Amino acid sequence: MPATPVTPVTPARPHLALRPLWLCRACAAPWPCATARLALVAEYAHDRVALSVYLCAVLYDATADLHRLNPDDGPTPAALFARFLAWVPRGQPDRDQPDP
């Protein structure tokens, strides 16, 4: 019986922001891309307030960078809010809610 060839496992590239364009380094989608959002929600699963605070800081940086790159026709404040904050789950996970 022939041996099964061994293929090296390539670690997945992290979906991080490429500044000042704010595109995903792995998939070139506007950051945070869908994969980055899932990773962030998982990373901050027990502290969604910290996730919101982090994303507010990122929104601040992205707004400055994107305005500097395209001051006349950049993303609107509403579009930036939707991109960086509107998707964040609200409240703490059910297991952290107080009993009624």
Model pTM score: 0.78
Q: Is the predicted pLDDT of residue 22 greater than 90, yes or no? A: yes
Tell me how many degrees the CA angle 36-48-30 measures, rounded to the nearest 5. Answer: 25
The amino acid present at 36, given as its one-letter code, is A
Residue 29 lies in a domain: yes
At 46-94, the pLDDT tens digits run 999 999 999 999 999 999 999 999 999 989 999 999 999 999 988 656 5
Q: ω into residue 20 within 30 of 0, thus cis?
A: yes
Residue 22 lies in a domain: yes
Residue 3 lies in a domain: no
Residue 4 lies in a domain: no
Residue 39 lies in a domain: yes
What length is written for the chain?
A: 100
Tell me how many degrees the CA angle 50-56-61 measures, rounded to the nearest 5. Answer: 130
Residue 95 lies in a domain: no
Residue 90's pLDDT is 82
Total of domains in the chain: 1
Residue 97 lies in a domain: no
Q: Is the predicted pLDDT of residue 98 greater than 60, yes or no? A: no
- Cβ(12)–Cβ(38) below 8 Å: no
Domain assignment of residue 66, given as a range: 17-89
